Amino acid sequence: MAKSICVYCGARDGDAPAFAAAADALGAGIAARGWRLVYGAGDVGLMGRVARAVQDANGETFGVIPTHLMEMEVGKRDLTRFVVTETMHERKKVMFMNADAVVVLPGGAGTLDEFFEVLTWAQLGLHAKPLILVNVDGYWDGLLAMLNGIVARGFADASLLDLVRAAPDAGTALEYLD
């Protein structure tokens, strides 16, 4: 059975061309490996870029979006599978339950919310799925420093740091998943 990769990322492109390039490369790489993209079903920002890259390479897409974001994130309806949920909580659950691994591209508060939820679940032993931060252009340096600070200040065991792997680019993230 092919892998399903859940991608969390921004509904905007951000301020660096490297972010868009990473989204394009990640999507193309997922499709090239015959894997399925699981993501938030948006057609804007990095979300839309990842999905279009998978589609351009004839890959499979599984998008999940809550009803209240259909207009804001311009729900991408031409996906292999398109699921509309009632709430954000349902969206996150459906995405995670249909994935074998999580890859996190640059994004904002929503991306962080998704990341911290699955990181917490891993910390609690509720799953052992790979969690990879694509640290394009050093975007996640502050987050990685914060996680190290959490451990250093005694709020988590050092094993927390073993639950997340940072990759400098999409290609390396894909290699980690191979």
Model pLDDT, residue 69: 83
Band of pLDDT at residue 73, cut at 50, 70 and 90: low
Give the model confidence (pLDDT) of 12-31 as tens digits. Answer: 999 999 999 999 999 999 99
Query: For domain 4-177, which CATH number applies: 3.40.50.450, 3.30.70.360, 3.40.50.300, 3.30.1360.200?
Result: 3.40.50.450
Q: Is the pLDDT of residue 157 over 90?
A: yes
Q: Report pLDDT digits (tens) over 34-49.
A: 999 999 998 999 999 9
d(CA 58, CA 33): 11
Mean pLDDT of 125-133: 97
Burial bucket for residue 7 (CB in 10 Å: 0-12, 13-18, 19+): buried
pLDDT for position 168: 98
Average pLDDT over residues 53-82: 88
Residues 14, 109: contact at Cβ < 8 Å? no
78 has pLDDT over 90: no
Mean pLDDT of the chain: 95
Would you list the domain boundaries of the chain? Answer: 4-177
Tokens standing for residue 63: 């998008």
The DSSP H or E segment spanning 26 is helix 17-32
What confidence score (pLDDT) does residue 20 get? 98
Predicted TM-score (pTM) above 0.85: yes
> Do 41 and 73 meet the contact criterion of CB atoms below 8 Å apart?
yes
pLDDT number for residue 37 = 98
